[in-house]
Amino acid sequence: MNLDHSFTVSVEWRGNLGTGTSSYKAFSRDHVVRVDGMHGKHEIEGSAARAFHGDAERWNPEEQLIAALAQCHMLSYLHVATQSGVVVESYTDFATGTLHVQADGSGALVEVALHPVVTISAGDAATAQSLHAEAHRVCFIANSVNFPVRHEPQVLVVDDELS
C-alpha cells in the first residue's frame, strides 16, 4: 500500500505594472495560487503582507501557513476525538503567528499559537483537553515546520454552556 501522496499547486505572479521589477516599488506583489487540474477549487488571491508592500485584502504566505497549521490541527483533533469517544459539537480557532525579520531582510516564522475553543457533548473534558497533544503529534503540517506550535485550548461542555 502506497502511503505517499502528491499535491500540486501553481503560483502565477500578476504584478507587472509595466516595468517589471525595475525597482523595489515598481511592481505589485499580487499573485494567484491554484490547484492544477482540480476543477471546482477557488483560486487564492495572494500578495505580500502589507508591511512588505502587499495588498492587505489578499492572503499572504504567512497567513496561509498559519491557517494550514490551524486547519491541520483541527482535522487531526477531530480524528483523535472520534477515536477517544469525545463528541465535538463545535470547534473554532484564533491562531496567531510571529514573524521575525533580520536586518538583512531575511526572516522566519518563529512561533505559532493556536487557541482552539472546542465544545463537546460526550466524553470527558479532561480527555478532550489532553487530545490536543495527540492531535499535534499526528498533524502533518505541524510535523513539517521547524518552529514551535503552541496550543492554548479551551474545552466547553454543552451542559456547561446552558448553565
pLDDT in tens, 93-138: 999 999 999 999 999 999 999 999 999 999 999 999 999 999 999 9
Residue 2 — pLDDT band, cuts 50, 70, 90? confident
Where does 61-162 sit in CATH, by number?
Answer: 3.30.300.20
Q: Which residue has the higher pLDDT, 138 or 160?
A: 138
Q: Give every CB contact of residue 44 below 8 A, 6+ residues apart in sequence.
A: 32, 33, 34, 59, 64
Domain with CATH 3.30.300.20 in the chain: 61-162
